[in-house]
């Protein structure tokens, strides 16, 4: 078990750096990052000046050397400067990270709090009206385009009803209620598809367990229905949703780009998107490093949880 996890962790680290290497390389095919700094036909741009800047940010070296320099910096805690403003990337990163982390966390809670109960109710009432409603919810949630859901939410709750703000995180000094209001729409929109996946997963896991011998046994010896559902079935059906919850968190962190764009949310997703358009390779690589590391950490957590929750599972 320990050996398996150690091996798994090692591969996770390699995976993360491979991911950054791939994105770093492709982002360089975009064209010369210098073109964003100095316009080729700009006034007073001499080849010498261009070469000097190129040397300053290390563009004159081969790609692989540039990557190694970047990695070397990262290992020493230096993530480089942004291309245009020449501020340390790490400062901007820490400025944007809280918004993304908060939104992910809230959306994760929303998804779990809605999805799991819906799945359980759906499985318990198999074939009944609540099952149909639950399945319709899951079908809708997994099919709706997130950006469209966001736009519709703005259309209904901000434009028509004027109940909630249409975007941004709101001013920092706003009252607590004001801040919560800014969170409602983005977190619901982001969490919706996750809730649908939870509902689906929980339903099928519950159905499987409810069909097993020990549940039939419990029923046969006369255990009350509620107790069968929550104590016998639910606890055993929780294994797939628990592992899924870790992966969902990773998905929320890296997958909220669209939500951030729709709601003007000042987070890492928009930072990364903007860095793509500005060819800001240091910022882009750092974002990718963060997203990939989060993904690796969360899938590692999922594997560990899997073994921790279910004593029958042992990695050799």
Partner 1 sequence: MTTAVDNRTVANALSGALLLLQFPLYVWNFMRRWPVIPGLILTTLVVCSIFASQIAPHSFRKTDLRSRNVPPVWMEGGSFNRILGGDVVGRDILSRLIHGARVEMMVATISLVGGAVLGTSLGVIAGYYGGIVDELLMRLVDIWFSIPFLLFALVVTIAFEPSLRVVLILLAILAWSVFVRNIRAEVLLLKGTDYVAAARIAGASTLRLMVRHLFPGIINTMMVIASLRVGQLILAEASLSFLGAGIPAPTPAWGVMVNDGRNYLDNAWWVSTFPGIAILLTVMSFNFFGDWLRDRLDPRLRQL
Reading the block at residue 115, the tokens are: 């999805």
Contact indicator for 170, 178 with CB cutoff of 8 Å: yes
Q: Name the residue nearer to partner 1 (CB basis): 208 or 223.
A: 208
Contact indicator for 153, 172 with CB cutoff of 8 Å: no
CB of 257 to partner 1, least distance (A): 5
Q: What's the CA gap between 307 and 86, in Å, rounded?
A: 46
| Cα–Cα separations (whole angstroms), residue 98 to 105, 266, 267, 268 | 10, 9, 8, 9
155 interacts with partner 1 by CB under 8 A: yes
Q: Name the residue nearer to partner 1 (CB basis): 29 or 220.
A: 29
Beta strands in the chain, from DSSP E residues, in sequence order: none
Q: Which positions from 204 through 223 interact with partner 1, judged by CB under 8 A?
A: 204
313 interacts with partner 1 by CB under 8 A: no
CB of 164 to partner 1, least distance (A): 14
**CA 224 to the chain's CA centroid:** 40
- Interaction pattern, residues 6-45, with partner 1; x per rule: CB under 8 A: -----x--xxx-xx--xx--xx-xxx--------------
Q: Name the residue nearer to partner 1 (CB basis): 64 or 174.
A: 64
CB of 288 to partner 1, least distance (A): 6
Q: What residues have CB less than 8 Å from 145, skipping those under 6 apart?
A: none
CB of 248 to partner 1, least distance (A): 14
Q: Which positions from 238 through 267 interact with partner 1, judged by CB under 8 A?
A: 240, 254-255, 257-258, 261
Reading the block at residue 122, the tokens are: 């759906």
Q: What's the CA gap between 292 and 271, in Å, rounded?
A: 16
Q: Residue 123: enclosing H or E segment and its boundaries?
A: helix 89-124
83 interacts with partner 1 by CB under 8 A: no
Reading the block at residue 285, the tokens are: 């690589």
Q: What's the CA gap between 104 and 186, in Å, rounded?
A: 10
295 interacts with partner 1 by CB under 8 A: yes
148 interacts with partner 1 by CB under 8 A: yes
Angle at 184 between CA 147 and CA 254, to 5 degrees: 50
CB of 275 to partner 1, least distance (A): 9
163 interacts with partner 1 by CB under 8 A: no
Binding interface with partner 1 (CB under 8 A): 11, 14-16, 18-19, 22-23, 26-27, 29-31, 139-140, 142-148, 151-152, 154-155, 159, 201, 204, 240, 254-255, 257-258, 261, 272-273, 276-277, 279, 284, 287-288, 291-292, 295-296, 299
């Amino acid at each position: 078990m320990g050996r398996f996890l150690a091996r798994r962790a090692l591969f996770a680290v390699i995976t993360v750096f491979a991911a950054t290497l791939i994105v770093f390389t492709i982002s360089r095919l975009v064209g010369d990052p210098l073109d964003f700094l100095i316009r080729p036909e700009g006034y007073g741009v001499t080849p010498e000046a261009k070469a000097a800047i190129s040397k300053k940010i290390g563009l004159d070296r081969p790609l692989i050397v540039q990557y190694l320099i970047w990695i070397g910096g990262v290992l020493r805690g230096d993530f480089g400067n942004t291309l245009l403003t020449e501020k340390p990337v790490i400062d901007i990163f820490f400025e944007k990270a809280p918004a993304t982390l908060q939104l992910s966390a809230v959306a994760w809670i929303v998804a779990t709090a809605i999805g799991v109960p819906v799945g359980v109710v759906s499985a318990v009432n198999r074939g009944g009206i609540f099952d149909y409603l639950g399945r319709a919810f899951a079908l809708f949630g997994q099919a709706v385009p997130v950006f469209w859901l966001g736009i519709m939410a703005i259309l209904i709750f901000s434009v028509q009803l004027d109940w909630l703000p249409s975007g941004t995180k709101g001013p920092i000094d706003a009252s607590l209620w004001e801040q919560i209001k800014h969170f409602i729409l983005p977190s619901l929109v982001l969490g919706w598809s996750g809730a649908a996946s939870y509902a689906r997963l929980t339903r099928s896991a519950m159905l499987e367990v409810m069909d097993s011998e020990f549940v039939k046994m419990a029923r046969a010896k006369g255990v009350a229905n509620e107790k069968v559902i929550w104590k016998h079935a639910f606890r055993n059906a929780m294994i797939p949703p628990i592992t899924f919850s870790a992966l969902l968190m990773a998905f929320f962190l890296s997958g909220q780009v669209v939500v951030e764009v729709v709601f003007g949310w000042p987070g890492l997703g928009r930072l990364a998107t903007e860095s793509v358009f500005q060819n800001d390779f240091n910022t882009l690589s750092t974002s990718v490093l963060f997203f990939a590391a989060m993904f690796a950490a969360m899938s590692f957590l999922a594997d560990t949880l899997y073994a921790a929750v279910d004593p029958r599972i042992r990695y050799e």
